[in-house]
Amino acid sequence: MRAPEEEPDEIFARERLVEAVENQLAADQPPSAQATLNKLTLVGYAREESIELMASVLAHSIGVMLDNDAPFDMSAYEQALRNLPELPETTD
């Protein structure tokens, strides 16, 4: 699901994030990824839309990691997945 105004770099980044989420689901790592997908589809989100939401959470988590020059916080990522469809707060 791409917005028409997205730049090629944004499209590439979004595709890589979706790919990363798909890889997490295939590997069942973290287990909360599959649980989140199940929950979202159960409450009526299409699979593609659910994956996009999950990719947004991954993007947010990576952004926090880079902004703070810190390791990836898996527990915060998993908590943010569990909070979907509510997206994490951004500080932009």
pLDDT of residue 6: 74
User: Is 29 part of a structural domain of the chain?
Assistant: no
Instruction: Specify the amino acid at residue 57.
Output: V
Q: What is the mean pLDDT of the chain?
A: 92
User: Is 20 part of a structural domain of the chain?
Assistant: no
- pLDDT at residue 2 tops 60: no
User: Is 14 part of a structural domain of the chain?
Assistant: no
Secondary structure of residue 40 in the 3-state scheme: helix
Residue 34: both structure tokens together: 């599959």
- As for how many domains the chain has, the answer is 1
pLDDT of residue 3: 54
Instruction: Supply the range of the domain harboring residue 57.
Output: 53-92
User: Is 8 part of a structural domain of the chain?
Assistant: no
Residue 2: both structure tokens together: 């791409």
User: Is 84 part of a structural domain of the chain?
Assistant: yes
**Which residue shows structure tokens 């069942």?**
28
Alpha carbons 77 and 21: distance in angstroms, whole number = 12
User: Is 31 part of a structural domain of the chain?
Assistant: no
User: Is 88 part of a structural domain of the chain?
Assistant: yes
